[in-house]
Structure 1
Amino acid sequence: MKGVLLVNLGSPESPTPKDVKPYLDEFLMDKYVIDVPFLLRAFLVRGIILRKRPEESAHAYAKIWWEEGSPLVVLSERMQKKVQPLVNVPVALAMRYGSMTIEKGLQELHEKGVTEVMLFPLYPQYAMASTLTILVKAEEIRKKKFPHMTFTDVPAFYNKPDYIKNLADSIQKHLVGYDYDHLLFSYHGIPERHIRKTDVTKSHCKIDGSCCNTPSAAHDFCYRHQCYETTKQVVKLLGLPEDKYSLTFQSRLAGDKWLEPYTDIEIDKMPAKGIKKLAVVTPAFVSDCLETLEEIAMRAKEDFEANGGEEFLAIPCLNDDDEWCQTVGNWINDWAK
């Protein structure tokens, strides 16, 4: 019997330092997130970051927390509930970090008699710190707890026409009646070294402005290329001129060089360039979360206005949009035939 496991990032149990700390520990101690030797990672995370970060993050989570709970979890659950009636196989939901574990999701499917699992990371673009860590963790659990299960991994869907159409339609819908000067595509940032580590050719990715436009097998696993390709295809559908949009990367940690240009720096400069009405979309996420609701819709908006901006529109993620849920249902049905 076939079944599907949707997997998203995860969330602390509550917006309190007590619950945020173990969540951050699990997240940041993941070797695919901070990819340095264990002892150094433990020193950085447990010796430095977790001394102040839980309180700061808890404050940020508190600003976006809903009555029902974490927005990312609530929105993921809404999506799963909309997708389930569209398909003829069980659909479970799990998170890579936190209490809604991948093991619990697989157990739920196992109890329904599922032996063939469509493992579906809810990330449009492939990255070590998102897609890969889900696939590795799920396989570890499968071998240990569910050896008779088989997996079919859903590859990054950054350029699938139906996803691109859903994203373009959603952007267009939210821009109706908004006379914006500029549309910013803000993607989650990753360290540049992650791009080189996922280069299957070991030579193509130079992050020099040209490699992402040169055909290569590396593109199947290149986060940067996939972000640019998503933007390129959405822009084409929307018919946007080149001076009407741009692409940036958000949410970096101090220390290493991360993908540029940086969202916060670029947004701060925009009013001086005559961009007074800004719309921002965050296509690295399918569900709104801390990085979209607090970092963009709150902090970036405040910074934009503080620097002379007049209007700021944060475009929601696809979340449980009916068209998007139908697309996911179609992909599942195609696989389940």
Structure 2
Amino acid sequence: MKGILLVNLGSPDSPEPKDVKRYLGEFLMDERVIDIPLVARTALVKGIILKTRPKASAAAYKKIWWEEGSPLIVLSERLRDKIQKQVDVPVALAMRYGSMTIKKGLQQLVDKGVDEVLLFPLYPQFAMATTETITVLAEELRQDCFPGLKITSVPAFYNKADYIEVLSNSIKKYLEGKDYEHLLFSYHGVPERHIRKSDITKSHCKIDNSCCITPSKAHEFCYRHQCLEVTKLVAEKLQFKEGSFSTSFQSRLGFDPWLQPYTDRTIERLGKQGVKNMAIVTPAFVSDCLETLEEIAMEGQEIFHEMGGENFITIPCLNDDSEWVALLSKWINDWAVKETITV
């Protein structure tokens, strides 16, 4: 029997500092998130970050927390429930970090008689700190706890025509009737070294202005290329004029170089250049979360206004949009019937 496990990033159980600290500890100790030796990572995370950051992060979570709970969890549950109504196989939901573990999600499916799982990381683009850490952990759990289970992972779907159409339709629908001068595509940032580590050719990724547009096998696992490609494909689909849109990267941590340009500095620059009305979309996320609801919609808007900007339009993630639900359901049904992934 087949089943689906949708997997997203995760969330603390509450916006209280103790729960945020527990969540951040698990997240930041992941070797694919902070990819430095264990001793150094432990000293950094437990010796420095967890002594200062949980209180500030808890305050940020409290700003966006819903009555029903974490927005990311609530929206992901809504997505799961709507998909379940359109497919004939069991659908479970798990998070890479936090109490909704991948182990619990796999167990839910096994308890229903599932012996073949389609693992669906809810990330359009591949990255070490998102897709890879999910698939690696799932395989470890399969070997240790579910040896009879077959797991097939969904690859990155950033450039699939039907996904680009759904994303483009969502952007177009939300911006309809709204005045804006510039649309910023903001993607979650990663350290530059992650791009080089993911380069299967070991030579292509130089993070310059040419490697991401030069055909290469490296693009299959190049987060930067995949983000830039989403921007390009959506811009072509919606026939945006050159100069009316751009790409940036948010949420950097530490002092090592991360992908640029940085979102906060880009918002600041646009305001200084006299842009009065801008819109921003976050296509690295399929569900709204702390990074979109607080870092972008609140902090980003504050920066824009401080620089003289007036209207700051934040476009919601796909969340449980009906077209998005229909597309995911189609991909799942195709796999369930044809035993191939059409994503």
User: Normalization by structure 1: what TM-score?
Assistant: 0.99
Letter in 2 for 1:114: V
Aligned-pair CA distance for 1:9: 0.3
Q: Which residue of 2 aligns with 1:213?
A: 213
Letter in 2 for 1:304: F
Inter-partner Cα distance in structure 1 for 2:217 and 2:11: 34
For these two proteins, the number of residue pairs brought into alignment is 337
Q: Which residue of 2 aligns with 1:315?
A: 315
Inter-partner Cα distance in structure 2 for 1:223 and 1:168: 20
Q: Deviations over 1:49-108 (max 9, x none)?
A: 111100000000000000000000000000000001111110100000000000000000
Q: Which residue of 2 aligns with 1:119?
A: 119
Inter-partner Cα distance in structure 1 for 2:9 and 2:83: 19
Inter-partner Cα distance in structure 2 for 1:162 and 1:321: 14
Query: 1:233-272, aligned counterparts within 5 Å?
Result: 233-272=233-272
Q: Which residue of 1 aligns with 2:108?
A: 108
Letter in 1 for 2:263: T
Cα RMSD (Å):
0.5
Inter-partner Cα distance in structure 1 for 2:229 and 2:236: 11
Q: Which residue of 1 aligns with 2:290?
A: 290
Q: Which residue of 1 aligns with 2:187?
A: 187
Inter-partner Cα distance in structure 2 for 1:272 and 1:250: 19
Percent of pairs with identical residues: 66
Q: Deviations over 1:128-153 (max 9, x none)?
A: 00000000111111111100001111
Q: Which residue of 1 aligns with 2:305?
A: 305
**Contact map agreement 2:162 2:327 (CA 8 A) in 1:** yes
Aligned-pair CA distance for 1:273: 1.4
Inter-partner Cα distance in structure 2 for 1:53 and 1:238: 40
SS of equivalent residue, structure 1 residue 21: helix
Unaligned runs of 5+ in 2: 338-343
Inter-partner Cα distance in structure 2 for 1:153 and 1:262: 31
Q: Which residue of 1 aligns with 2:59?
A: 59
**Contact map agreement 2:274 2:308 (CA 8 A) in 1:** no
Q: Which residue of 2 aligns with 1:132?
A: 132
Letter in 1 for 2:197: K
Aligned-pair CA distance for 1:274: 2.3
Inter-partner Cα distance in structure 2 for 1:161 and 1:316: 20
Instruction: Flag as ranges the 4+ runs of structure 1 deviating above 6 A.
Output: none
Inter-partner Cα distance in structure 1 for 2:134 and 2:254: 25
Aligned-pair CA distance for 1:210: 0.3
User: Normalization by structure 2: what TM-score?
Assistant: 0.98
Aligned-pair CA distance for 1:242: 1.2
SS of equivalent residue, structure 1 residue 319: coil
Q: Which residue of 1 aligns with 2:161?
A: 161
Unaligned runs of 5+ in 1: none
Query: 1:61-76, aligned counterparts within 5 Å?
Result: 61-76=61-76
**Does residue 49 of structure 2 align to residue 25 of structure 1?**
no
Q: Which residue of 1 aligns with 2:280?
A: 280
Aligned-pair CA distance for 1:2: 0.5
**Contact map agreement 2:94 2:100 (CA 8 A) in 1:** yes
Inter-partner Cα distance in structure 2 for 1:5 and 1:195: 27
**Contact map agreement 2:34 2:41 (CA 8 A) in 1:** yes
SS of equivalent residue, structure 1 residue 5: strand
Inter-partner Cα distance in structure 2 for 1:221 and 1:4: 23
